[in-house]
Amino acid sequence: MEKLIVHGGAPLKGVVDISGSKNSSLPILAATLLTRDTCTIRRVPDLSDTNYMVRILGELGAEVERASGVVVVKAENVASVAPYDLVRKMRASICVLGPLTGRLRQCTVSLPGGCVIGDRPVDLHLKGLEALGAEIKVDGGDISVDATQNFRGGPMNLMGKSGSTVLGTGNVMMAATLAKGITSIEGAAAEPEVEDLANFLIKMGAKIEGAGTNTITIEGVDQLHGAEHTVIPDRIEAGTFLCAGAMMGEGITLRRVNAAHMQTVLDALRQCGFTLTLGRDTISIAPNPSAKGFDLTTLCYPGFPTDMQAQFCALACAIGDTSTITETIFPQRFMHIAEMKRMGAQVDLEGATAKIRGGHPIKGAPVMASDLRASAALVLAGLLSQGKTEVNRLYHIDRGYEHLDDKLASLGAKVERMRE
Ligand code: EPU
Protein backbone atom coordinates (compact mmCIF):
# COMPACT_ATOMS: atom_id res chain seq x y z
CA MET A 1 0.00 0.00 0.00
CA GLU A 2 1.11 3.55 -0.64
CA LYS A 3 0.81 6.68 1.44
CA LEU A 4 1.07 10.36 0.65
CA ILE A 5 3.40 12.54 2.67
CA VAL A 6 2.21 16.15 2.69
CA HIS A 7 4.57 18.84 4.01
CA GLY A 8 2.18 21.61 4.97
CA GLY A 9 2.40 25.32 4.42
CA ALA A 10 3.59 25.54 0.81
CA PRO A 11 1.70 28.17 -1.18
CA LEU A 12 -0.02 27.01 -4.38
CA LYS A 13 0.21 28.91 -7.62
CA GLY A 14 -0.24 28.12 -11.28
CA VAL A 15 -2.50 26.26 -13.67
CA VAL A 16 -3.92 22.76 -13.38
CA ASP A 17 -5.83 20.71 -15.96
CA ILE A 18 -9.00 19.02 -14.74
CA SER A 19 -9.58 15.42 -15.85
CA GLY A 20 -12.66 13.79 -17.30
CA SER A 21 -15.38 12.90 -14.81
CA LYS A 22 -15.09 9.60 -12.95
CA ASN A 23 -18.81 9.48 -12.25
CA SER A 24 -19.65 10.06 -15.92
CA SER A 25 -17.08 7.59 -17.19
CA LEU A 26 -18.28 4.64 -15.12
CA PRO A 27 -21.91 4.42 -16.39
CA ILE A 28 -20.88 5.50 -19.89
CA LEU A 29 -18.37 2.64 -20.08
CA ALA A 30 -21.13 0.29 -18.84
CA ALA A 31 -23.49 1.65 -21.52
CA THR A 32 -21.17 0.34 -24.26
CA LEU A 33 -22.58 -3.11 -23.40
CA LEU A 34 -25.88 -2.03 -25.00
CA THR A 35 -24.54 -2.51 -28.54
CA ARG A 36 -22.50 -5.04 -30.56
CA ASP A 37 -20.82 -2.13 -32.37
CA THR A 38 -17.63 -0.33 -31.47
CA CYS A 39 -17.83 2.60 -29.03
CA THR A 40 -15.03 5.08 -28.41
CA ILE A 41 -15.00 6.99 -25.14
CA ARG A 42 -12.54 9.85 -24.77
CA ARG A 43 -11.18 11.67 -21.76
CA VAL A 44 -11.66 8.69 -19.46
CA PRO A 45 -9.52 9.48 -16.41
CA ASP A 46 -6.73 7.08 -15.47
CA LEU A 47 -8.12 5.85 -12.15
CA SER A 48 -8.37 2.52 -10.42
CA ASP A 49 -12.19 2.76 -10.64
CA THR A 50 -12.20 3.26 -14.42
CA ASN A 51 -9.57 0.51 -14.81
CA TYR A 52 -11.81 -1.72 -12.77
CA MET A 53 -14.80 -0.96 -14.98
CA VAL A 54 -12.67 -1.72 -18.06
CA ARG A 55 -11.80 -5.05 -16.43
CA ILE A 56 -15.47 -5.82 -15.75
CA LEU A 57 -16.35 -5.13 -19.41
CA GLY A 58 -13.55 -7.48 -20.48
CA GLU A 59 -14.64 -10.21 -18.09
CA LEU A 60 -18.19 -9.91 -19.44
CA GLY A 61 -16.80 -10.69 -22.90
CA ALA A 62 -16.21 -7.28 -24.47
CA GLU A 63 -13.02 -6.46 -26.36
CA VAL A 64 -11.56 -3.39 -24.71
CA GLU A 65 -8.56 -1.29 -25.63
CA ARG A 66 -7.33 1.61 -23.56
CA ALA A 67 -4.69 4.18 -24.47
CA SER A 68 -4.13 7.60 -22.91
CA GLY A 69 -7.66 8.48 -21.94
CA VAL A 70 -9.37 6.77 -24.89
CA VAL A 71 -11.26 3.55 -24.28
CA VAL A 72 -12.53 1.57 -27.26
CA VAL A 73 -15.10 -1.14 -26.51
CA LYS A 74 -16.65 -3.72 -28.79
CA ALA A 75 -19.11 -5.93 -26.95
CA GLU A 76 -20.07 -8.37 -29.70
CA ASN A 77 -21.06 -11.01 -27.19
CA VAL A 78 -21.88 -10.34 -23.56
CA ALA A 79 -22.09 -12.73 -20.61
CA SER A 80 -25.25 -12.42 -18.52
CA VAL A 81 -23.67 -13.06 -15.13
CA ALA A 82 -21.55 -10.60 -13.16
CA PRO A 83 -20.51 -12.61 -10.08
CA TYR A 84 -19.54 -11.26 -6.68
CA ASP A 85 -15.83 -11.66 -7.31
CA LEU A 86 -16.15 -9.39 -10.32
CA VAL A 87 -18.25 -6.61 -8.78
CA ARG A 88 -17.34 -6.59 -5.10
CA LYS A 89 -14.47 -4.10 -5.23
CA MET A 90 -16.50 -1.21 -6.61
CA ARG A 91 -20.04 -0.25 -5.75
CA ALA A 92 -20.49 1.47 -9.10
CA SER A 93 -20.25 -1.98 -10.77
CA ILE A 94 -24.02 -2.00 -10.23
CA CYS A 95 -24.31 0.14 -13.36
CA VAL A 96 -23.89 -2.93 -15.57
CA LEU A 97 -27.34 -4.05 -14.36
CA GLY A 98 -29.29 -1.69 -16.65
CA PRO A 99 -27.31 -2.40 -19.85
CA LEU A 100 -27.36 -6.18 -19.30
CA THR A 101 -31.13 -6.06 -18.72
CA GLY A 102 -31.69 -3.95 -21.84
CA ARG A 103 -29.44 -6.01 -24.10
CA LEU A 104 -30.06 -9.56 -22.82
CA ARG A 105 -33.41 -9.30 -20.94
CA GLN A 106 -32.04 -11.79 -18.45
CA CYS A 107 -29.05 -11.33 -16.18
CA THR A 108 -27.60 -11.93 -12.74
CA VAL A 109 -25.51 -9.26 -11.07
CA SER A 110 -24.16 -9.68 -7.58
CA LEU A 111 -25.20 -7.04 -5.07
CA PRO A 112 -22.37 -4.68 -4.24
CA GLY A 113 -21.68 -4.35 -0.54
CA GLY A 114 -22.17 -1.25 1.60
CA CYS A 115 -19.32 1.13 2.16
CA VAL A 116 -18.08 3.50 4.82
CA ILE A 117 -20.27 6.38 3.62
CA GLY A 118 -23.50 4.44 4.24
CA ASP A 119 -25.31 1.17 3.55
CA ARG A 120 -26.12 2.28 -0.02
CA PRO A 121 -29.26 0.32 -0.95
CA VAL A 122 -30.29 -0.43 -4.57
CA ASP A 123 -34.07 -0.72 -4.01
CA LEU A 124 -34.77 2.19 -6.37
CA HIS A 125 -32.73 0.60 -9.20
CA LEU A 126 -34.85 -2.55 -8.79
CA LYS A 127 -38.11 -0.61 -8.50
CA GLY A 128 -37.34 1.06 -11.84
CA LEU A 129 -36.51 -2.19 -13.61
CA GLU A 130 -39.71 -3.75 -12.22
CA ALA A 131 -41.67 -0.83 -13.66
CA LEU A 132 -40.23 -1.90 -17.04
CA GLY A 133 -41.81 -5.33 -16.57
CA ALA A 134 -38.77 -7.18 -15.21
CA GLU A 135 -39.18 -9.86 -12.57
CA ILE A 136 -36.52 -9.51 -9.94
CA LYS A 137 -35.28 -11.91 -7.29
CA VAL A 138 -32.61 -11.17 -4.75
CA ASP A 139 -31.13 -14.38 -3.44
CA GLY A 140 -27.78 -15.38 -2.01
CA GLY A 141 -26.43 -11.87 -2.56
CA ASP A 142 -27.32 -11.91 -6.27
CA ILE A 143 -29.87 -9.84 -8.18
CA SER A 144 -31.54 -11.96 -10.88
CA VAL A 145 -33.50 -10.06 -13.50
CA ASP A 146 -35.92 -11.72 -15.91
CA ALA A 147 -37.43 -9.36 -18.44
CA THR A 148 -38.01 -11.96 -21.14
CA GLN A 149 -41.81 -11.91 -20.88
CA ASN A 150 -43.03 -8.39 -20.62
CA PHE A 151 -40.24 -5.86 -21.18
CA ARG A 152 -41.84 -2.49 -22.03
CA GLY A 153 -41.69 1.16 -21.10
CA GLY A 154 -43.85 2.57 -18.34
CA PRO A 155 -44.25 5.38 -15.83
CA MET A 156 -42.32 5.36 -12.56
CA ASN A 157 -41.13 7.58 -9.75
CA LEU A 158 -37.58 6.99 -8.54
CA MET A 159 -37.54 9.58 -5.76
CA GLY A 160 -36.19 8.05 -2.54
CA LYS A 161 -36.29 9.34 1.01
CA SER A 162 -32.85 10.95 0.58
CA GLY A 163 -33.67 12.36 -2.84
CA SER A 164 -33.11 10.97 -6.30
CA THR A 165 -30.59 8.28 -7.22
CA VAL A 166 -27.81 8.99 -9.70
CA LEU A 167 -26.75 5.47 -10.70
CA GLY A 168 -30.35 4.20 -10.27
CA THR A 169 -31.59 6.76 -12.80
CA GLY A 170 -28.71 5.80 -15.11
CA ASN A 171 -29.45 2.08 -14.83
CA VAL A 172 -33.15 2.45 -15.59
CA MET A 173 -32.50 4.93 -18.41
CA MET A 174 -30.01 2.52 -20.03
CA ALA A 175 -32.41 -0.45 -19.80
CA ALA A 176 -35.37 1.63 -21.04
CA THR A 177 -33.58 2.65 -24.25
CA LEU A 178 -34.31 -0.89 -25.54
CA ALA A 179 -37.76 -1.43 -23.90
CA LYS A 180 -40.75 -1.12 -26.23
CA GLY A 181 -42.83 2.04 -25.74
CA ILE A 182 -42.46 5.09 -23.58
CA THR A 183 -40.76 5.22 -20.19
CA SER A 184 -41.29 8.24 -18.03
CA ILE A 185 -39.05 8.63 -14.98
CA GLU A 186 -40.29 11.11 -12.37
CA GLY A 187 -37.95 11.93 -9.50
CA ALA A 188 -34.99 11.34 -11.83
CA ALA A 189 -31.55 12.54 -10.77
CA ALA A 190 -30.63 15.75 -12.60
CA GLU A 191 -26.86 15.49 -12.07
CA PRO A 192 -24.67 16.49 -15.06
CA GLU A 193 -23.30 12.93 -15.11
CA VAL A 194 -26.82 11.59 -15.84
CA GLU A 195 -27.17 14.13 -18.64
CA ASP A 196 -23.76 13.13 -20.01
CA LEU A 197 -24.81 9.47 -20.03
CA ALA A 198 -28.04 10.41 -21.83
CA ASN A 199 -26.06 12.37 -24.42
CA PHE A 200 -23.92 9.31 -25.11
CA LEU A 201 -27.01 7.08 -25.36
CA ILE A 202 -28.60 9.56 -27.78
CA LYS A 203 -25.46 9.34 -29.96
CA MET A 204 -25.98 5.54 -29.89
CA GLY A 205 -29.49 6.05 -31.31
CA ALA A 206 -31.55 6.25 -28.10
CA LYS A 207 -34.53 8.59 -27.89
CA ILE A 208 -34.29 10.47 -24.59
CA GLU A 209 -35.71 13.81 -23.51
CA GLY A 210 -35.43 15.73 -20.26
CA ALA A 211 -32.05 14.43 -19.03
CA GLY A 212 -30.61 17.02 -16.67
CA THR A 213 -34.09 17.60 -15.16
CA ASN A 214 -36.17 15.55 -12.70
CA THR A 215 -38.39 14.09 -15.46
CA ILE A 216 -36.80 11.95 -18.15
CA THR A 217 -38.75 10.42 -21.02
CA ILE A 218 -37.34 7.57 -23.08
CA GLU A 219 -38.89 6.10 -26.20
CA GLY A 220 -37.55 2.58 -26.68
CA VAL A 221 -35.79 1.65 -29.94
CA ASP A 222 -35.05 -1.81 -31.43
CA GLN A 223 -31.31 -1.48 -31.21
CA LEU A 224 -28.47 0.92 -30.46
CA HIS A 225 -25.35 1.41 -32.55
CA GLY A 226 -21.75 2.38 -31.85
CA ALA A 227 -20.85 5.97 -31.01
CA GLU A 228 -18.01 8.25 -29.94
CA HIS A 229 -18.19 10.44 -26.89
CA THR A 230 -16.00 12.70 -24.76
CA VAL A 231 -16.89 12.70 -21.07
CA ILE A 232 -17.52 15.97 -19.23
CA PRO A 233 -14.93 17.53 -16.89
CA ASP A 234 -14.90 16.21 -13.33
CA ARG A 235 -16.76 18.85 -11.32
CA ILE A 236 -15.76 17.25 -8.01
CA GLU A 237 -12.05 17.16 -8.85
CA ALA A 238 -12.42 20.80 -9.94
CA GLY A 239 -14.19 21.71 -6.68
CA THR A 240 -11.43 19.99 -4.69
CA PHE A 241 -8.74 22.07 -6.45
CA LEU A 242 -10.78 25.24 -5.85
CA CYS A 243 -10.77 24.42 -2.13
CA ALA A 244 -6.99 23.93 -2.28
CA GLY A 245 -6.67 27.28 -4.06
CA ALA A 246 -8.91 28.98 -1.49
CA MET A 247 -6.92 27.49 1.40
CA MET A 248 -3.34 27.80 0.17
CA GLY A 249 -3.47 29.63 -3.12
CA GLU A 250 -1.60 32.64 -4.34
CA GLY A 251 -3.93 32.49 -7.33
CA ILE A 252 -4.55 29.19 -9.12
CA THR A 253 -6.36 28.54 -12.38
CA LEU A 254 -8.27 25.41 -13.35
CA ARG A 255 -8.33 24.60 -17.05
CA ARG A 256 -10.76 22.35 -18.99
CA VAL A 257 -13.62 22.84 -16.51
CA ASN A 258 -17.33 23.49 -16.96
CA ALA A 259 -18.42 26.19 -14.50
CA ALA A 260 -22.09 25.64 -15.43
CA HIS A 261 -21.96 22.28 -13.58
CA MET A 262 -20.53 23.89 -10.44
CA GLN A 263 -22.81 26.85 -9.69
CA THR A 264 -23.62 25.91 -6.09
CA VAL A 265 -19.98 25.27 -5.20
CA LEU A 266 -18.90 28.50 -6.91
CA ASP A 267 -21.65 30.44 -5.10
CA ALA A 268 -20.55 28.97 -1.76
CA LEU A 269 -16.95 30.07 -2.38
CA ARG A 270 -18.06 33.54 -3.48
CA GLN A 271 -20.21 33.91 -0.36
CA CYS A 272 -17.14 33.12 1.75
CA GLY A 273 -15.47 36.06 0.02
CA PHE A 274 -13.21 34.31 -2.49
CA THR A 275 -12.91 35.97 -5.88
CA LEU A 276 -13.53 33.70 -8.84
CA THR A 277 -12.78 34.63 -12.42
CA LEU A 278 -14.44 32.53 -15.09
CA GLY A 279 -13.12 32.09 -18.63
CA ARG A 280 -14.51 29.96 -21.45
CA ASP A 281 -13.29 26.72 -19.82
CA THR A 282 -11.23 28.09 -16.94
CA ILE A 283 -11.87 29.14 -13.34
CA SER A 284 -9.34 31.13 -11.32
CA ILE A 285 -9.56 31.59 -7.58
CA ALA A 286 -7.80 34.23 -5.51
CA PRO A 287 -7.19 33.88 -1.76
CA ASN A 288 -8.89 36.07 0.86
CA PRO A 289 -7.32 36.19 4.36
CA SER A 290 -10.54 37.62 5.81
CA ALA A 291 -12.92 35.05 4.26
CA LYS A 292 -16.18 34.40 6.13
CA GLY A 293 -17.54 31.05 7.31
CA PHE A 294 -20.33 29.16 5.55
CA ASP A 295 -23.54 27.34 6.43
CA LEU A 296 -24.20 24.62 3.86
CA THR A 297 -26.46 21.60 3.43
CA THR A 298 -25.78 18.83 0.93
CA LEU A 299 -28.61 18.13 -1.50
CA CYS A 300 -29.19 16.51 -4.87
CA TYR A 301 -28.10 18.51 -7.92
CA PRO A 302 -28.33 21.45 -8.36
CA GLY A 303 -27.89 21.61 -4.57
CA PHE A 304 -24.52 21.50 -2.82
CA PRO A 305 -22.92 18.11 -3.64
CA THR A 306 -22.30 15.52 -0.94
CA ASP A 307 -19.08 14.73 -2.83
CA MET A 308 -17.75 18.20 -1.81
CA GLN A 309 -18.77 18.06 1.86
CA ALA A 310 -15.49 16.67 3.23
CA GLN A 311 -13.34 19.09 1.23
CA PHE A 312 -15.39 22.05 2.56
CA CYS A 313 -14.79 20.75 6.11
CA ALA A 314 -11.06 21.12 5.36
CA LEU A 315 -11.63 24.56 3.82
CA ALA A 316 -13.50 25.63 6.98
CA CYS A 317 -10.34 24.96 9.03
CA ALA A 318 -8.57 27.67 7.02
CA ILE A 319 -11.26 30.31 7.51
CA GLY A 320 -11.07 32.37 10.72
CA ASP A 321 -14.77 31.99 11.47
CA THR A 322 -17.32 29.28 12.35
CA SER A 323 -18.80 27.20 9.54
CA THR A 324 -21.44 24.48 9.54
CA ILE A 325 -22.20 21.79 7.02
CA THR A 326 -25.12 19.36 7.18
CA GLU A 327 -25.10 16.08 5.26
CA THR A 328 -28.53 14.92 4.03
CA ILE A 329 -27.56 12.42 1.29
CA PHE A 330 -25.25 10.14 3.31
CA PRO A 331 -25.74 11.24 6.95
CA GLN A 332 -22.85 9.04 8.16
CA ARG A 333 -20.35 10.45 5.69
CA PHE A 334 -18.09 12.09 8.30
CA MET A 335 -15.16 9.68 8.65
CA HIS A 336 -12.77 12.56 7.91
CA ILE A 337 -13.82 14.47 11.04
CA ALA A 338 -12.16 12.16 13.56
CA GLU A 339 -8.94 12.22 11.51
CA MET A 340 -9.02 16.02 11.16
CA LYS A 341 -9.51 16.31 14.92
CA ARG A 342 -6.30 14.29 15.36
CA MET A 343 -4.61 17.13 13.48
CA GLY A 344 -6.06 19.62 15.96
CA ALA A 345 -9.06 20.78 13.95
CA GLN A 346 -11.81 22.22 16.13
CA VAL A 347 -14.87 20.34 14.93
CA ASP A 348 -18.03 19.15 16.67
CA LEU A 349 -20.29 16.67 15.04
CA GLU A 350 -23.94 16.94 16.09
CA GLY A 351 -26.03 14.36 14.25
CA ALA A 352 -25.34 14.97 10.59
CA THR A 353 -24.03 18.52 11.11
CA ALA A 354 -20.36 19.38 11.45
CA LYS A 355 -19.55 22.66 13.16
CA ILE A 356 -16.02 23.82 12.44
CA ARG A 357 -14.23 26.67 14.20
CA GLY A 358 -11.52 27.60 11.75
CA GLY A 359 -8.48 29.83 11.78
CA HIS A 360 -6.64 27.82 14.46
CA PRO A 361 -3.35 26.24 13.50
CA ILE A 362 -3.59 22.54 12.69
CA LYS A 363 -0.64 20.19 12.91
CA GLY A 364 0.49 17.39 10.62
CA ALA A 365 -0.17 13.84 11.83
CA PRO A 366 -0.45 10.33 10.45
CA VAL A 367 -4.08 9.94 9.31
CA MET A 368 -6.09 7.16 7.73
CA ALA A 369 -7.94 7.65 4.47
CA SER A 370 -11.39 6.02 4.69
CA ASP A 371 -13.12 6.83 1.41
CA LEU A 372 -12.36 8.85 -1.65
CA ARG A 373 -13.61 12.32 -0.70
CA ALA A 374 -12.63 11.98 2.98
CA SER A 375 -9.10 11.21 1.78
CA ALA A 376 -9.05 14.28 -0.44
CA ALA A 377 -10.12 16.37 2.56
CA LEU A 378 -7.23 14.97 4.61
CA VAL A 379 -4.78 15.91 1.86
CA LEU A 380 -6.23 19.45 1.89
CA ALA A 381 -5.91 19.59 5.69
CA GLY A 382 -2.30 18.38 5.27
CA LEU A 383 -1.54 21.24 2.88
CA LEU A 384 -2.83 23.69 5.49
CA SER A 385 -1.12 22.11 8.49
CA GLN A 386 2.19 22.83 10.12
CA GLY A 387 4.61 19.96 9.64
CA LYS A 388 4.19 16.58 8.03
CA THR A 389 0.93 14.72 7.41
CA GLU A 390 0.97 11.10 6.32
CA VAL A 391 -2.22 10.10 4.51
CA ASN A 392 -2.28 6.32 4.64
CA ARG A 393 -4.26 4.03 2.30
CA LEU A 394 -3.66 6.21 -0.72
CA TYR A 395 -5.52 3.72 -2.91
CA HIS A 396 -8.76 5.48 -1.90
CA ILE A 397 -7.54 8.64 -3.64
CA ASP A 398 -6.29 6.73 -6.68
CA ARG A 399 -9.84 5.43 -7.12
CA GLY A 400 -11.11 8.88 -8.05
CA TYR A 401 -8.42 11.57 -8.48
CA GLU A 402 -6.19 11.31 -11.54
CA HIS A 403 -2.56 11.87 -10.48
CA LEU A 404 -3.56 14.11 -7.56
CA ASP A 405 -0.02 14.16 -6.17
CA ASP A 406 1.54 15.22 -9.49
CA LYS A 407 -1.09 17.91 -10.04
CA LEU A 408 -0.64 19.33 -6.52
CA ALA A 409 3.16 19.23 -6.90
CA SER A 410 2.89 21.15 -10.19
CA LEU A 411 1.13 23.91 -8.21
CA GLY A 412 3.95 24.02 -5.66
CA ALA A 413 2.68 21.62 -2.97
CA LYS A 414 5.30 19.54 -1.18
CA VAL A 415 3.89 16.04 -1.53
CA GLU A 416 5.57 12.65 -1.98
CA ARG A 417 4.12 9.22 -2.62
CA MET A 418 5.79 6.45 -0.62
CA ARG A 419 5.23 2.83 0.22
CA GLU A 420 3.53 2.31 3.60
N1 EPU B 1 -30.60 5.43 -2.35
C2 EPU B 1 -31.65 4.64 -1.97
N3 EPU B 1 -32.00 3.59 -2.76
C4 EPU B 1 -31.36 3.31 -3.92
C5 EPU B 1 -30.28 4.12 -4.32
C6 EPU B 1 -29.92 5.18 -3.51
O7 EPU B 1 -32.27 4.86 -0.94
O8 EPU B 1 -31.75 2.35 -4.61
C9 EPU B 1 -30.21 6.57 -1.52
C10 EPU B 1 -28.77 6.51 -1.04
O11 EPU B 1 -28.66 5.73 0.15
C12 EPU B 1 -28.44 7.97 -0.83
C13 EPU B 1 -29.21 8.65 -1.96
O14 EPU B 1 -30.23 7.72 -2.34
O15 EPU B 1 -28.97 8.40 0.40
C16 EPU B 1 -28.38 9.02 -3.16
O17 EPU B 1 -27.63 7.90 -3.62
P18 EPU B 1 -27.30 7.68 -5.14
O19 EPU B 1 -27.98 6.46 -5.62
O20 EPU B 1 -27.56 8.94 -5.90
O21 EPU B 1 -25.76 7.40 -5.11
P22 EPU B 1 -24.97 6.59 -6.22
O23 EPU B 1 -25.63 6.78 -7.52
O24 EPU B 1 -24.71 5.22 -5.74
C25 EPU B 1 -23.39 8.51 -7.02
C26 EPU B 1 -21.92 8.79 -7.02
C27 EPU B 1 -21.45 9.09 -5.61
C28 EPU B 1 -22.25 10.27 -5.07
C29 EPU B 1 -23.75 9.98 -5.14
C30 EPU B 1 -24.61 11.15 -4.72
C31 EPU B 1 -21.09 7.46 -8.86
C32 EPU B 1 -20.24 6.33 -9.31
N33 EPU B 1 -21.20 7.64 -7.54
O34 EPU B 1 -23.56 7.34 -6.22
O35 EPU B 1 -20.08 9.46 -5.73
O36 EPU B 1 -21.87 10.54 -3.75
O37 EPU B 1 -24.10 9.62 -6.50
O38 EPU B 1 -24.36 12.24 -5.53
O39 EPU B 1 -21.64 8.19 -9.66
C40 EPU B 1 -17.85 9.68 -5.06
O41 EPU B 1 -17.58 10.00 -6.23
O42 EPU B 1 -17.02 9.79 -4.12
C43 EPU B 1 -19.17 9.14 -4.76
C44 EPU B 1 -19.44 8.46 -3.65
The answer to whether the beta carbons of residues 256 and 233 sit under 8 Å apart is yes
The pLDDT of 37-41, averaged and rounded, is: 98
Catalytic residue ranges: 115
Residue 70 CA to residue 92 CA, distance in Å, equals 20
> Ligand 1 test: best mutation among 94, 300, 329, most atoms within 8 Å of CB?
329
Ligand 1: does its nearest atom lie under 6 Å from the Cβ of 327? Answer: no
Average pLDDT over residues 269-297: 97
* Percent of the chain whose predicted confidence (pLDDT) is above 90: 94
- Rounded to an integer, the average pLDDT of 49-67 is 96
3-class DSSP state of 117: coil
339 SS3 class: helix
- Residue 368 beta carbon below 6 angstroms from any ligand 1 atom: no
Least confident of 126-130, 137-141, 202-206: 137-141
Ligand 1 and 248: CB distance under 6 A: no
Instruction: Give the distance (Å) from ligand 1 centre to CA of residue 167.
Output: 7
Lowest-confidence pick of 110-119, 244-253, 302-311, 387-396: 110-119
For every residue of 2-52, DSSP letters joined together read EEEEEETT--EEEEEE--B-HHHHHHHHHHGGG-SSEEEEE-----HHHHH
Q: Separation of 109 CA from ligand 1 center, angstroms?
A: 18
pLDDT-derived band at 123, boundaries 50, 70, 90: very high
The C-alpha atoms of residue 30 and residue 121 are separated, in whole angstroms, by 20
pLDDT digits (tens, 9 = 90+) for 361-381: 999 999 998 899 999 999 999
**Residue closest by Cα to atom 24 of ligand 1:** 167
Q: Is the pLDDT of residue 118 over 90?
A: no
Query: How far is 91 from 344, CA to CA, in rounded Å?
Result: 33
Confidence of residue 116 (pLDDT cuts 50, 70, 90): confident
375 φ, ψ to 5°?
-65, -40
Residue 120 Cα to ligand 1 middle (Å): 7
User: Mean pLDDT, to the nearest integer, of 190-197?
Assistant: 98
pLDDT at residue number 131? 98
Phi first, then psi: what are they for 149, rounded to 5°? -85, -45
Yes or no: say if 357 and 379 are a contact pair by the CB < 8 Å rule: no
Peptide bond into 289 cis (omega under 30): no
β-pair type (12-17, 106-110): unpaired
Confidence at 256, pLDDT banded by 50, 70, 90: very high
The predicted model gives 355-362 an average pLDDT of 96
Torsion of CA 108, 93, 303, 239, to 10 degrees: -170
Please answer whether residues 387 and 1 qualify as being in contact, where contact means their C-beta atoms are separated by less than 8 angstroms: no
Determine whether the shortest distance from the Cβ of 360 to ligand 1 is under 6 A.
no
The atom number, within ligand 1, closest to the CA of 307 reads: 36
Q: What pLDDT, on a 0 to 100 scale, did the predictor assign at position 115?
A: 73
Distance 330 CA to ligand 1 centre (A): 8
Categorize the per-residue pLDDT at 114 as very low, low, confident or very high, splitting at 50, 70 and 90.
low
Query: Does 152 score more than 80 pLDDT?
Result: yes
Beta carbons of 208 and 202 less than 8 angstroms apart:
yes
CA distance 46 to 22: 9
Q: Whose CA is nearest to atom 17 of ligand 1?
A: 165
Q: Which of 61-65, 112-116, 248-252 is predicted most confidently? A: 61-65
DSSP string of 48-97, one letter each residue = HHHHHHHHHHHHTT-EEEEETTEEEEE-SS--SEE-HHHHTT-GGGGGGH
Task: Tell me the sheet residues that pair with 295.
Answer: 324
Rounded to 5°, the CA angle 156-159-164 comes to 120
Q: CB under 8 Å to 295, separation ≥6 — which residues?
A: 323, 324, 325
- Portion of the chain with pLDDT greater than 70, in percent: 100
Among the atoms of ligand 1, which is closest to the Cα of residue 301? 38
Instruction: Find the 247 Cα to ligand 1 centroid distance in Å.
Output: 28
Which is the closest atom of ligand 1 to the Cα of 371? 42
Average pLDDT, integer, range 154-165: 96
- Ligand 1, residue 117: give the atom nearest the CA: 44
Tell me which residue of 264, 353, 359 sits closest to 308, measured CA to CA: 264
Q: Whose CA is nearest to atom 43 of ligand 1?
A: 307
User: Tens digit of pLDDT for each residue in 9-19?
Assistant: 999 999 999 99
pLDDT of residue 117: 80
> What average pLDDT is seen over the chain?
96
Instruction: Give me ligand 1 centre to Cα 81, in Å.
Output: 23
